[in-house]
Amino acid sequence: MVNSTVVDHEIIIVGAGFAGIGTAIALRKAGFDDFLMVDDADGAGGTWHWNTYPGIGVDIPSFSYQYSFEQQRTWSRVYAPGRELKAYAEHCVNKYGLRPRIRFSTSIVRADFDDALHLWRLRTGDGEELTARYVIGATGVLTRPKLPEIAGVERFTGVTMHTSRWDHDQDLRGKRVGVIGTGASAVQVIPEIAPEVAELVVFQRTPIWCLPRPDTALPPVVHRLLGLPGGKLVTRWLSQAFVELTFPLAAHYYGVLPMSKLGERTGLAHLRDQVDDPEVRAKLTPDYALGCKRPSFSNDYLKTFNRSNVRLDTEPIAEITATGVRTAAGHHRVDVLIMATGFKVMESGNMPTFDLHGSGGVRLEDWWDEHRLQAYEGVSVPGFPNFFTIIGPYGYNGSSYFALIEMQTRHILRLLRKARGSHATRIEVTEEANERFFEEMLNRRGTQVFWQDSCTRANSYYFDKNGDVPLRAMTTPEGFWRAGHFDFADYRFTALGTRSGSTVEAAARTTVR
């Protein structure tokens, strides 16, 4: 029996950042050529397309912050600046022939699963409908800028900008500038703009752990060495080991290997080395354990507070006025207000960035509200057939984002191959498999760094509204192994024209318009 459902594309990937690009390359390599990528930006690179603030760069060594199959040896620094990442994204798009497959400046606002035809109907912001057998969510999590809910924010008459939407037409030289927030973006922006502005006031709510960054320029001779046989391989392995030790192992196996204690000592010594005034140093010292929230890495951030034109205000912001910011310490007049206030990480409208309705019309956000954030291996959710996500709950273990992308595409590709081989048109994770995985993740909490009492003071976006930390509690090698070995019985593969779970016998034909 052959059914002849016509879809626009076999697969639609939502997002043309590194997750989308990596997925598209994996699909092509596996012979899945009928796919479309959609992105609301007018260029590729996701985070690295949108974030162009002064000082932007990676905070994971570049040797790891790239695809394993497309290693570049010309990074200018161990921690490459943002523009090189954007160029790397464009390079990958061109090299793997993806450009004709991407629709830029197109947002997906809604997706509905058609139970009768085993396909997804996606609606764009312009009201167009696109259909696909499978949808892969590659919209990241640091996607939707978050503006602070502070009284009077709309009254400010100067220039306001969020770090992820930097306005390069604004000349900050000689201006009075306020920065709200002291997360990773602020840590990079503050030392970069401080020397050129007249005055800089930093509004800090929670101090960040700031560790030294083992960064250095990589001159042409290093690029040549990396080109020698084994050069890239050795550097990659050393870099991977460093990342694994400092992120996933430190976070998920804290109970076994309390490395963050060593990190705290390093962070405190860094503060002593860099900050002259003991009062300022005390204000910059976190009162929660390292690891509760994402730390930062900078050799310049802390010492910026020694500058005579930089002030740190740690009083809560009472209001934003037409001309500045008021706290208990006084009113600070500013010409420019920079919102380094982060992203709607686990808030509604972000995971994914479009309204997703699965089998029976159930809304994914409602399902998560009812069941807590969860996804089998961080990829699939029961009741949402043919939808796979790159960074779902319990998908990311804190390692390089590229490791996540390659891990999850491995999982997804196994499913797609299996479905193709058996002519299935509907792939759905079973509730039992999902529950088992969720329980397993919860049971691994015992050794994680996040459950120390002081984490309640950290204001960390790792915690969702239920108090869960939906990070993947495992090492990167384990994640990779599981992506290649999960039991196909954890999924139901069904073909149109057969009852759910019965033998797959139909062949689906997809046609490109």
Q: How far is the CB of 452 from ligand NAP (least distance, A)?
A: 17
Q: What is the DSSP letter of 145?
A: B
59 binds ligand NAP (CB under 6 A): yes
The yes or no reply on residue 317 touching ligand NAP (CB under 6 A) is yes
User: What are phi and psi for residue 246, nearest 5 degrees?
Assistant: -85, -20
Q: For residue 352, say if its preceding peptide bond is cis, omega within 30 degrees of 0.
A: yes
- Is residue 142 a contact point for ligand NAP (CB under 6 A)? yes
Nearer to ligand NAP by C-beta: 184 or 405? 184
Separation between Cα atoms, residue 400 and residue 474, nearest integer Å: 14
Whether 267 contacts 211, CB under 8 Å: yes
Q: Which span sits near ligand NAP by CB under 6 A: 19-27, 30-38, 178-186, 351-359?
A: 178-186
Interaction between residue 180 and ligand NAP (CB under 6 A)? yes
Nearer to ligand NAP, 62 or 235 (CB): 62
8 Å CB contact between 384 and 356: yes
Residue located via tokens 């090299």: 95
Q: Smallest Cα–Cα separation from 146: which of 318, 319, 339, 15?
A: 339
Give residue for tokens 């197109």: 106
Q: Of 203 and 486, which CB lies nearer to ligand NAP in the complex structure?
A: 203
Q: For residues 358 and 395, which CB has a smaller minimum distance to ligand NAP in the complex?
A: 395
How many Cβ atoms are within 10 Å of 335's Cβ, its own excluded? 19
Rounded distance, CA 378 to CA 394, Å? 5
Determine, following the binding rule CB under 6 A, whether residue 23 of this chain makes contact with ligand NAP: no
What is the Cα–Cα distance from 357 to 372, expressed in whole angstroms? 17
Rank residues 46 and 57 by Cβ distance to ligand NAP and give the closer one: 57
DSSP run (H or E) holding 494: strand 491-494
From candidates 185, 240, 274, 494, binder to ligand NAP by CB under 6 A:
185
Nearest approach in angstroms of CB 317 to ligand NAP is 5
Name which of residues 193 to 212 contact ligand NAP (CB under 6 A).
203, 205-206
Q: How far is the CB of 47 from ligand NAP (least distance, A)?
A: 8
* CB 424, min distance to ligand NAP, A: 37
150 touching ligand NAP, by CB under 6 A: yes
Q: Which residue is nearest to ligand NAP (CB)?
A: 183
322 φ, ψ (degrees, to nearest 5): -65, -25
User: Residue 29 or 83: which CB sits closer to ligand NAP?
Assistant: 83
And the tokens for 387? 């939808």
263 binds ligand NAP (CB under 6 A): no
**Considering the rule CB under 6 A, would residue 184 count as an interface residue with ligand NAP?**
yes
When asked if residue 342 is in the footprint of ligand NAP (CB under 6 A), the reply is yes
Closest distance between ligand NAP and the C-beta of residue 141, in Å?
9
Candidates 461, 463, 486, 491: give the one binding ligand NAP (CB under 6 A). Answer: 461
The CA distance from 83 to 75, in Å, is 11
DSSP notation for 185-209: HHHHHHHHHTTTSSEEEEE-SS---
What are 333's strand-pairing partners?
324
Is residue 170 involved in binding ligand NAP (CB under 6 A)?
no
Structure tokens at 58: 């990676």
186 is a contact residue toward ligand NAP (CB under 6 A)? yes
CB of 224 to ligand NAP, least distance (A): 27
If residue 457 lies in a helix (H) or strand (E), which one and from where to where? none
Of the candidate residues 16, 19, 21, 58, the single one contacting ligand NAP (CB under 6 A): 58
Name residue 458's amino acid: A
Per CB under 6 A, residues contacting ligand NAP are 57-59, 142, 148, 150, 163, 180-186, 188, 203, 205-206, 294, 317, 340-343, 459, 461
